[in-house]
Structure 1
Amino acid sequence: MQDHYNTRCKELTYPERQCIERWHNKDKLSNRQIALLLGKAPQTINNEVLLGLVQLKTKTKYSSRRAQELHKVNKQHCGRKSKLSSDLNQKISEGVRDKQSLEVILQSFIGLVCLKTLYNWLEKGWLDVKYHELLYPHYKKAKKLRKTQPKRPFGLSIEERPEEINNRSGFGHWEIDTVILTRAKNECLLTLTERVTRFEVIRLIPDKSARSVNTALQSLQEQLVFKSITSDNGREFAKLGEAVTCPVYYCHAYASFERGTNENHNRMIRRFLPKGTIKTTSQEVAKIETWMNNYPRKMFKYRTPSQMLQGG
């Protein structure tokens, strides 16, 4: 059994090739002696010498520079050929720019590649889009927040919410929030998310006040079924009980994850209306609402909230 062998990821380096050149051409050492000095297998040195041979006028010599150049060329042909094509790159990039997740984009060519491959292409920079352009770019895990009771409870606590609502076993239970466009007193969005179907309702209201919220809710009651509403402890939701007849449950303070469905939808809205948006229109808001309700969801086997609402 031989004493010297190559381990994985222990290829010959350029300085080692320079040593081989000096020992082979000038000192006239044998391949086995060179292998002993470098701690490599004799066959490795033999292959290396054959790789780097150059023809001179009267004889052949080993050239470390020539061997290094050929080594780089050969390394480019290593590994499996990528399945990424220009057409595939275009489809993925267009999907990301259309605010679709990679999981949804994958459905159009499922079986060709896997989801991990798409993420690898994105991280290596092989696509025309960047990682931060994803719908939900994950950089680090969020810190877990402690649940604390609000100082001024406006109504029923979320701890009193029935299991039917917690388990999402019945339709008509909504989560509510407001999305501010600018810090200045301006128009804002009132968002409602149905917990079972993930159906989204967005309304542009004049300001972030209890009166504006209640006015919008009263008009929505003619179109939607409200069996319960889950809200945070913002002052704009302090008088929800005056606008709706259904129970209103309030989350713990600083516990937005208790309305996780609505918060995730708010993040999707931010893709179109980032913080600092000075002005928007009801038509633009309606377009965003339509896009969200027709966006395929993995939890529904890539059916849309609109299809779930219709029982499809």
Structure 2
Amino acid sequence: MQDNYTSKGKHLTSTERSLIEKWRKEKQSNRQIAKRLGRSPQTINTEVKRGLVQQMDTHRRYHMVYSSEYAQRQYEHNRKRSIKHSKLDKQVSETIIHYIKNKFSPEVIAKVKLRGQVSTRTIYNWIYQGKLGLKRTDMLYPRKTKAIKKTVSSNPRVYGKSIDDRPEWINNRSEIGHWEIDTVLLTKSKNSVLLTLTERSTRFEVIRLIEAKTACAVNSELLRLSQEFEFKSITADNGSEFSRLSEVVNCEVYYAHAYASWERGTNENHNRMIRRFLPKGTVKTTVQAVAHIEKWMNNYPRQLFNYKSPIQMVMGG
């Protein structure tokens, strides 16, 4: 048996088809032709069947014979039909680029803006293959360097109740009104910072620009927010700016463990979304810019809510 056939997937060429026609006219068998071309007999059998045409001999009788020209035309026709047409037309391309530049994730673009016309993975592939004119750095979360491991102090700060004491009915997010709080630094210098609060159940976000990362500045803004929002509980980290929260809010305040940002994962994730607009090193921003970010986040579709937005969840769906 022939043991040096060409690898699977290598198609016959026009020259090979001409040789098949010539050798068949010389009454060589398909197996002999296969051996001479270094192909499997089944490949030649299939090729011959594909290229058969009806031909009349000198006695005006019809016979089925192999035609290399007809076989080549059939092959080229089938190849054109087998090519998968890309869904990346001008409209789809412009839609993806527009929303990527407006800080939307490929997942939300695929599910909400393109309504399932293409998959999330397809959008990622188009970006990585350079088909959209975008770079990896245009993605929402480019790969970062490995973080420096922090050590936990042997004498952690204690400002109030530990998150370990937070009731299960708050943990399971069954009720609106329980918040996570944090501050977001724009620069390492002593400039304005962002005070962020995230409602755990609906993911509704409140962002305010405050003058400094101090307990006084935080409490002053939180007192104003208390007139607008209901706070049934607040979960904070152990930053000194949150040391006096209980002085201005009439609710339980819980403190996460040191260097355990995942215990306030909802708020941390939202801070990450804010960084889409205000990356580290942003020297200045405005109240209007912060209000725009807050509005964008509260209207951003979430997979968790079947692509409803936080504002829709607050309003009852």
Calculate the TM-score normalised by the size of structure 2. Answer: 0.74
The equivalent of 1:25 in structure 2 is none
* Counterpart Cα distance in 2 of 1:7 and 1:144: 51
Larger Rg: 2
* Counterpart Cα distance in 2 of 1:236 and 1:277: 21
CA shift, 1:140, in A, is 9.4
1:163 aligns with 2:171: no
The equivalent of 2:84 in structure 1 is 80
Which piece of structure 1 moves more, 119-128 or 226-235?
Answer: 119-128
* Counterpart Cα distance in 2 of 1:147 and 1:257: 15
* Counterpart Cα distance in 2 of 1:266 and 1:145: 20
Across the two proteins, how many residue pairs are aligned to each other? Answer: 272
1:164 is paired with a residue whose SS is: helix
2:222 is paired with a residue whose SS is: helix
CA shift, 1:6, in A, is 3.2
Q: Deviations over 1:142-170 (max 9, x none)?
A: 99999988612111111111111111101
CA shift, 1:130, in A, is 2.4
2:219 is paired with a residue whose SS is: helix
The equivalent of 1:50 in structure 2 is none
The equivalent of 1:91 in structure 2 is 95
* Counterpart Cα distance in 2 of 1:277 and 1:139: 18
The equivalent of 1:266 in structure 2 is 271
Could you tell me which amino acid in structure 1 is paired with residue 250 of structure 2?
Answer: T
Q: Could you list the runs of 5+ residues in structure 1 that have no partner in the other structure?
A: 13-29, 48-73
* Counterpart Cα distance in 2 of 1:94 and 1:259: 32
* Counterpart Cα distance in 1 of 2:176 and 2:120: 32
The equivalent of 1:289 in structure 2 is 294
Percent identity reads 55
* Counterpart Cα distance in 2 of 1:149 and 1:203: 33
Q: Deviations over 1:18-58 (max 9, x none)?
A: xxxxxxxxxxxx9767756xxx548989x9xxxxxxxxxxx
* Counterpart Cα distance in 2 of 1:128 and 1:113: 18
* Counterpart Cα distance in 1 of 2:212 and 2:169: 33
The equivalent of 2:3 in structure 1 is 3
CA shift, 1:244, in A, is 1.2
Could you tell me which amino acid in structure 2 is paired with residue 249 of structure 1?
Answer: Y
The equivalent of 1:21 in structure 2 is none
2:86 is paired with a residue whose SS is: coil
The equivalent of 2:316 in structure 1 is 311
1:213 aligns with 2:218: yes
Q: Deviations over 1:275-299 (max 9, x none)?
A: 1111111111111111111111111
* Counterpart Cα distance in 1 of 2:264 and 2:154: 16
Which runs of 4 or more aligned residues in structure 1 lie more than 3 Å from their structure 2 counterparts after TM superposition?
6-12, 30-36, 40-45, 74-79, 136-150
CA shift, 1:80, in A, is 1.4
* Counterpart Cα distance in 2 of 1:117 and 1:44: 34
2:118 is paired with a residue whose SS is: coil
Could you tell me which amino acid in structure 2 is paired with residue 248 of structure 1?
Answer: V
1:112 aligns with 2:117: yes
* Counterpart Cα distance in 2 of 1:272 and 1:206: 19
The equivalent of 2:62 in structure 1 is none
* Counterpart Cα distance in 1 of 2:43 and 2:266: 60
Following superposition of structure 1 onto structure 2, how do residues 171-210 of structure 1 map, counting pairs within 5 Å? 171-210=176-215
Give the superposed CA RMSD. Answer: 3.6
CA shift, 1:85, in A, is 0.8
Could you tell me which amino acid in structure 1 is paired with residue 127 of structure 2?
Answer: L
